[in-house]
Chain A
Amino acid sequence: MKKLVLATAALALSAGLASADTVRMGTEGAYPPWNFINDKGEVDGFERALGDELCKRAELTCEWVTNEWDSIIPNLVSGNYDVIIAGMSITDEREQVIDFTQNYTPPDPSAYLALSADLDVEGAVIAAQTNTIQAAFVAEHGWTLVEFATPEETIAAVRNGEADAVLADKSYLAPVAEAEADLVLLEREEAIGGGVGMGVRESDGELKAKFDAAIQSMKDDGSLNALISKWEVSSTF
């Protein structure tokens, strides 16, 4: 029941819906630009904007809840919130346990962030967040993997020389490289993971259908692409 509840986006839509159950949207709140906590202490970011728009189109009342990454799926299947919207890539492993809506960003490569641009990653020490697809990727290739509990620590590790590079989603690393002059993105990128989708319980087919339709309508009228470009989270459809 990781309910680090930070923001209540009670999207009061219409009085008619007031009696309906609210849909609780679970996110991590520590992964800009996808989702993060802004200065006011509210959930913000690409997925906040996207989620609010989707709820409006699906005529649902939504509420935002943050939950630690490690237990985000067990808490969904246990019913503590109804949707995961946390930059979660659609993978086979996860598909076995939960259902995903159609992806709302196209599959995008993961990137390396390092101190020098001419690093050879295969012989280097690569930092990644524990239990991410990137960590699994490095381990599978037999390179030296060093795992940290939070993404923040992985970048700190490169800064202080504990690791040579971080492997993470490009959209997460790009703003960091932009802000800090001595950190650069490598040219080499890895195609890991599918697109990002919303996770729902397997028994919740109705909710999945509603969000699928809403995502489709945003894809069709181009508003999804506009949102993606605005937050620079990935390539567009």
Chain B
Amino acid sequence: MSCWQTVQDYALRSIGIGERLLPRDDFTLCQQFTLIGSGMIWNVYFGLLALLAGFFLATALALGKASPNRALRKPAEWFIFVFRGSPLFIQFFFAYFLFLSLKGVSSIFDPFTSAWLGALAVLFLNTAAYSGEIFFGALLSIPRGDLEAADAYGFSGWKKFRKITWPTMLRLAWPAYTNEAIFLFHATTLVYFSGFPAWRQKGDALYYASYFADKTFNPFIPYPILAMYFILVTLTIVGVFGLVNRHLNRHLPAERRMRMRVRPTLLR
């Protein structure tokens, strides 16, 4: 079977399109590359959606944590503490348990026991907590002068937040937020590994990598392939976030621009 044929058969296998049976013997490198790459669809799906949705909740959490109002501050603080203080591994376990029991309460919760929604929800809450903490830190370090200038121009309330506070917060938080994005994508490998069951052998990249490791009894090929795919994803994230960073800093004189330093300030 030619490699092109393999790609046609298995490139979309992880979402249930193409050949139904996974390769059973005579494993080729091409098969491993194709199927593990196919699994990456799920990693990107979880990472991207959780990141996009988490961004908004993170902003709310940061504002909540910085709020002088106790009723807003305490829940935000606890939310961030619980999600940042416990391993994602254990969060997945509890989420699955919780969704199973909620299923009995109402059929609205039925899809939550599948990875595509349930795991996404966990990753969403998790990344919101981590990003919320980053945004909170940035919120506190906004130069007072900027806020005073906004007042002087007569900005207040929503307008001040949208035009001054929020963009400045983003600019300051961006390098750390880039890290969070990288680690969120890495964390997506835990979904099928420990959290949620795989249906009809549709899984993420790690699921297929371990399938091959199990069938060929040789871990030294599939896992490095998986690593390669993730390095590509990481490079893409760094590139895209770098562009956004340039946009956020475009008004600053060259020497004051925040240098894009990807630091491991946060992961799980």
Interface residues of A (CB under 8 A from B): 70-71, 73-74, 77, 93-94, 97-98, 127, 130-131, 136, 139-140, 142, 144-149, 153, 157, 160-162
Contacts and interface: CB of A to CB of B under 8 A. Distances in A.
Contacts of B20: 142
14 contacts: A70-B213, A70-B214, A74-B213, A74-B218, A74-B219, A136-B24, A139-B22, A146-B200, A147-B198, A157-B197, A160-B100, A160-B103, A161-B103, A162-B197
A97 to B, nearest CB: 4
A141 to B, nearest CB: 10
B241 interface: no
B232 interface: no
B210 interface: yes
B155 interface: no
Given A70-B210, A162-B113, A130 B217 contact: no
Contacts of B198: 130, 146-147
A147 B191 CA distance: 13
A149 B194 contact: yes
Interface of B: 20-22, 24-25, 100, 103, 113, 193-194, 197-201, 210-211, 213-215, 217-219
Contacts of A70: 210, 213-214
Contacts of B25: 93
Contacts of A145: 199-201
Given A70-B210, A74-B217, A147 B201 contact: yes
B22 A71 contact: no
B21 A140 contact: yes
B219 A139 contact: no
B193 A149 contact: yes
A147 B211 CA distance: 12
Contacts, number: 51
Nearest to B211: A131
Given A77-B217, A136-B24, A144-B200, 15 more contacts: A70-B213, A70-B214, A73-B217, A74-B217, A93-B215, A131-B211, A131-B214, A139-B21, A139-B22, A139-B200, A145-B200, A145-B201, A147-B201, A149-B193, A160-B100
B217 A131 contact: no
A144 B199 contact: yes
Nearest to A144: B200
Nearest to A76: B217
A203 to B, nearest CB: 15
Contacts of A136: 24
Contacts of B217: 73-74, 77, 94, 97-98
Contacts of B210: 70, 130-131
A97 B219 CA distance: 13
A136 B113 CA distance: 23
A80 B205 CA distance: 28
A197 to B, nearest CB: 16
Contacts of B218: 74
B100 A162 contact: yes
In this complex, which of B113, B200, B213 has the most chain A Cβ atoms within 10 angstroms of its Cβ? B200
A79 B23 CA distance: 28
A145 B199 CA distance: 6
